[in-house]
Chains A and B, each alone.
Chain A
């Protein structure tokens, strides 16, 4: 069960070896979390995160190989996770790849694979879990979006557009779930220094995975629908959204 302070006992984490996911689990472990299912493409990395988590007090950690782009595997995975945990309190979707947005390097395959990994796959999987949670009578879904999807820019428009899609899907789903006891939290971080962004030049107001994790846990406590990290990005983007295109083009390089 989720307790009155929003803390889950069980969780399914997609992209379980991501820096942000690992940081979130480390914050939840000393609170109420006792069992998790970690899913991702590299079983090896998952097992490593899993071992760390057992060290901080998690009773049970199950690691499963999952490629969210492989749609046929999503329903069986959901059923398996439900079977393992009994009740699914939290689903955290932290899977995602940056890919490239340099036109010369982009092939049709690259674009459709990034769409599948960042948007189509996660959206399909969230649908499966959301349906289960409605049946269960409660549940919390946390989806990692990005400010890159709030207004796409030329430097990462492929990544940005996949996040825009996922963001729109999750906020719409959140409204569709009103009255069911299931809630969705869309998290929009700015530039996060993680392994995914290693070697890149930080954008304005950079944060680390720790800060995103703290914001996610606070979001669980307050039950909010949208979480900006850092919070001031909400106001910055209220303005950036309205900038005339020529200006945005120059800024968005």
Chain B
């Protein structure tokens, strides 16, 4: 048995804590050595980036967690093709600091810049521009993957199956060590934002549906506690990148500058959740009222528009010792009733959700386990201490699955395992590829184990591998 030091791991939601051994390879050679020769006695392993998945995707109880942050360099920027080649442990924050001054932006970014490139690929992340640009996988040109069966180069044209299984594959196809990403050339580091209030869900959906190509970025913040006639009242923010001509004259000389604000940290976790129905409904009320009814063409910096929550480090601590989860699902267009029903159940259940986020997804990407599919997606942060919450969310799972929708694995900590197959009908196809890359079942995260993503019979248990 391997008896090195262990560390406790949890996801961003701080809901499930499990202990595992840790290894932090400093480069690809060390990582390969570890995966090919150093796994004896660990039973299973899982790669981890910055730990921003909400649930148990990047932890491995009793096994080995490979901290990928050692691999974080920009290898090359190809200005002719507008591409960047980087090690996968690099964070979007670090990447932005490098590429924005050179006149590029990320083709897709989630709501936080503190994710690694590898983690973003494993989650096949989406951003406010999914309806126009799709998910991250659509902008990847090439990947380098260290799997238990060898080092593998893959992309949309080369070893397509392995590439697609890796986009959204939750890290279970191997450790992404390097990726080449197509970038978005920009004229300025500003976005032009239109803000508008919607008094209820119908108004919100019709605003989001009208002329979808008008804005590259579009999202609605929904008051998850508003009930009755105000159900789904929301504030829409929609934006496009600003061209130099759109900037005031005094900024035009230096249209690009990237300054992410310094992060203020929450110093400790309070003994209870600061976010409860009372504080959250007061906050949501204020948020809705302070938003302008309609405001056009306001210029905003990247950091405040794309990463509003990144200004406060460790904001997840505010949810107290029990932590929180994010419930994010997508239902197809036409299933608006299911969407409304979910919102209704959450608001009448007084589930304190701090600013729910609603947006529309464009067509699905190619990954068999990639989350985004065409339709409406809603994401809500919910404190886990809420009484009756588990049963309520179980009910919502059924509603979502019944409407042909699915839950986002990267946010999940508790979904019904028996619904995975219905929500992800291409699971078997993914399992076939995954099983080829990892025939002895070494790559099993706690999430994969909980939901039975990788075939259960291939699971090597620590106990049986030791003796």
Contacts and interface: CB of A to CB of B under 8 A. Distances in A.
Contact of B390 (A31, A134, A137, A223): A31
Chain B CB within 10 Å — which of A82, A86, A136, A138 has the most?
A138
Interface stretch (A3-11, A96-104, A141-149, A235-243): A3-11
A233 interface: no
A48 interface: no
Majority DSSP secondary structure for residues of B touching A: loop
A127 to B, nearest CB: 17
B56 interface: yes
Interface string A74-109: 000000001000110000000000000000000000
B305 to A, nearest CB: 30
B413 to A, nearest CB: 3
Interface in B393-419: 393-394, 412-414, 417
A221 B390 contact: yes
Contacts of A221: 384, 390
A197 interface: no
B283 interface: no
Nearest to B447: A1
Contact of A4 (B1, B63, B384): B384
A1 B413 contact: no
Nearest to B3: A135
B350 interface: no
Contact of B16 (A2, A31, A135, A136): A2
Given A3-B414, A86-B461, A138 B55 contact: no
Majority DSSP secondary structure for residues of A touching B: loop
B19 A3 contact: no
Nearest to B416: A32
Contacts of B389: 5
B55 A1 contact: no
Given A137-B19, A137-B60, 8 more contacts: A1-B446, A4-B16, A5-B384, A135-B62, A138-B19, A138-B61, A180-B6, A181-B17
B360 to A, nearest CB: 28
Interface in A120-144: 134-138
A240 B393 CA distance: 41
Contacts of A135: 1, 62, 462-463
A179 interface: yes
Interface in A151-183: 179-181
A185 to B, nearest CB: 14
A245 interface: no
Interface in A14-32: 31-32
Nearest to A83: B463
A140 B72 CA distance: 37
Contacts of A1: 16, 56, 61, 446, 449-450
B123 interface: no
Nearest to A180: B19
Contacts of A9: 450
24 contacts: A1-B16, A1-B56, A1-B449, A1-B450, A2-B16, A4-B15, A4-B323, A4-B325, A4-B413, A5-B413, A32-B417, A82-B463, A86-B461, A135-B462, A135-B463, A136-B62, A137-B61, A137-B62, A179-B19, A180-B6, A181-B17, A181-B61, A223-B321, A223-B322
A221 B412 CA distance: 16
Given A181-B17, A222-B385, A223-B322, A136 B61 contact: yes
